[in-house]
Structure 1
Amino acid sequence: MTILLKTFIHTACCAALIASGTAQAHYLWIESGDSGARLYYGEPDALLKEKSPGKLDNIKSPKAFVQDTPSGKPGAVTISRAAEYFAIANNKGTPAILAVEESLEVRDLTKHGLGFAKSNYYARYGQAATDSSASPLVLDIHGSGPNKLAVVYRGQPLKDAKLEVIAPNTWMQEHKTDAQGAVHINTPWRGQYVVHVLHIDQAPGEFSGKKYDSLRNHLTYTFTKADGSDPGPAVPPKHEMD
């Protein structure tokens, strides 16, 4: 590929990409490890991975699953805490790995104008789903082709959901789903991408005897693109961490 063509592709892509200049809430995402997979907590766009002792300890009881086929029923696997991540056993090399953390307590976020909120975290690695009924992820992503995704919540398409797509070099693009929950993203570079969705369910409820005003559901979908342009170095944006 000529330098001119590389420059054109980079310029065109950057027009659609947004450098992440403001801090986002922490969430979970999965990456491939030497043996199995690793569940991280932090901000991938800032190259921030929390540790234990530290904020990683805020994640109390995550559960992990592997899925042999996109439509198959996931099976529970062992997940264990390490100093910088949770190790997920995946000796079978299955195409999809899932994680769920729904044990976090209700938090008082009234000083931020968010009332009392309950946060849930969902993470997917590898293949996107094809059947919501087989997934333990209340908030999930379906795939229908290269760069074609759909967001579902409780098995139904999620309209106007905002996706943040974090590229291998930490550039971030934002998209919004259509009426069918579908969206088309851009993946110009080779390497790992992390898709993040935050869906706030305004239906009040109760968890462990405490009432909440809303559910803050975070979903990440991590996948690796083998082809594409060289992404260059990963440089985190300059912003304050939460």
Structure 2
Amino acid sequence: MKSITIKKAILLFFLLMATPSLFAHALWIETNSTGIKGKSHEISIYFGEFSDNDITKSEKWFSDLKDFTLVLISPSKKETKLTTKALENKYQGFFTPDEEGVYTVVMHHKVKDVYGTMVLDYNSSATVVVANKKSGNYATANNNVIGLFIENADIAKKDVKINVSALYQGTPAKSQKLKVIAPNGWEKELWTNDKGEISFTPLWSGSYMVEFAYTEKLSGEHNGKKHDEIWKMATHLIIVK
């Protein structure tokens, strides 16, 4: 009986030790911020540590992470679930725009397994501008519980300020910590204002990651396992020219 108890304690220790490393990893969408009506547009989903350029091979994604949902919201608010296929280091999907305006791509997945006493909830989004931004260019097009929005991601440039909006349950996420990661791995933490916004000025060209993590203290059961909290993360990649 004692040996079983010891084994359980050891297992719990390793789960708790493993969880922070999972937190360092994120799911994110990469796609061109502009598209062409009638032309196929590629979307890629990656998992790994962005700041270290450490991409996890798709076959090694933990638990049921590969079962994420990917939804496309058109400028006219039409929702389409997209299918993806596994490549060596990412999942890949496509859509063909048939409207002008801003398309929103939304990824979500709540991990099946409970880690320690925590549920992991991953979220990501991206916007694709087709011809103009007359419709669809608003933050709440992304209906995930936690999300990020950049109004002018398609024209992001080096040395020009970028504004980022953070939302939680469809409303501005005030006084929340966001992380900005530069192409060279440089990181900075910023706190949102009373409008749920931060701003930063990119010093280099390349891909920037914005991360917003929030832990909800909530006890309950998830797939038959007890939990005390739900860790939620939203990501948004910005390509700076």
Question: Does the TM-score normalized on the shorter chain lie above 0.5?
Answer: yes
Matched, 1:98 2:106: yes
Tell me by how many angstroms 1:73 deviates. 4.4
Moved more, 87-96 or 191-200: 87-96
TM-score normalised per structure 2: 0.71
Moved more, 153-162 or 193-202: 153-162
Tell me by how many angstroms 1:51 deviates. 0.8
Alpha-carbon RMSD across the aligned residues, in angstroms, is: 2.8
Q: Residue 88 of structure 1: which of 89, 93, 97 is its match?
A: 93
In structure 1, the residue corresponding to 2:218 is in which secondary structure?
coil
Structure 1 residues 215 and 103: alpha-carbon distance in aligned structure 2, compared to 1, 3 A threshold:
same
Q: Residue 49 of structure 1: which of 55, 71, 74 is its match?
A: 55
Distance (whole Å) between structure 1 residues aligned to residue 41 and residue 177 of structure 2: 33
Identity rate of aligned residues, in percent? 23
Q: Deviations over 1:167-205 (max 9, x none)?
A: 222222221112332211222322221111111111223
Is this contact kept in 2: 1:30–1:124, CA < 8 A? yes
Tell me by how many angstroms 1:126 deviates. 3.1
Q: Residue 213 of structure 2: which of 198, 221, 224 is its match?
A: 198
Structure 1 residues 100 and 79: alpha-carbon distance in aligned structure 2, compared to 1, 3 A threshold:
same
Distance (whole Å) between structure 2 residues aligned to residue 57 and residue 201 of structure 1: 21
Distance (whole Å) between structure 2 residues aligned to residue 143 and residue 46 of structure 1: 24
Aligned residue type for 1:135: N
Distance (whole Å) between structure 2 residues aligned to residue 144 and residue 32 of structure 1: 16
Residue aligning to 1:149: 164
Structure 1 residues 43 and 100: alpha-carbon distance in aligned structure 2, compared to 1, 3 A threshold:
same
Aligned residue type for 1:102: K
Matched, 1:135 2:142: yes
In structure 2, the residue corresponding to 1:160 is in which secondary structure?
coil
Q: Deviations over 1:90-146 (max 9, x none)?
A: 2339743221112432111xxxxxxx00001001123696242x4232101234566
Residue aligning to 1:72: 77
Aligned residue type for 1:189: W
Tell me which protein shows more helix as a share of its residues.
2
Distance (whole Å) between structure 1 residues aligned to residue 44 and residue 149 of structure 2: 22
Is this contact kept in 1: 2:111–2:119, CA < 8 A? no
Residue aligning to 1:210: 225
Structure 1 residues 52 and 75: alpha-carbon distance in aligned structure 2, compared to 1, 3 A threshold:
closer
Distance (whole Å) between structure 2 residues aligned to residue 41 and residue 122 of structure 1: 12
Distance (whole Å) between structure 2 residues aligned to residue 95 and residue 185 of structure 1: 24
Tell me by how many angstroms 1:216 deviates. 0.5
Q: Gaps spanning 5+ residues in structure 2: where? A: 1-19, 33-39, 129-135, 153-160
- After superposition, residues 178-197 of structure 1 pair within 5 angstroms as 178-197=193-212
Residue aligning to 2:29: 30
Residue aligning to 2:36: none
Aligned residue type for 2:228: D
Residue aligning to 1:238: none
Aligned residue type for 1:141: L
Aligned residue type for 1:80: K
Which structure would you say has the larger Rg?
A: 2
Aligned residue type for 2:95: N
Aligned residue type for 1:161: Q
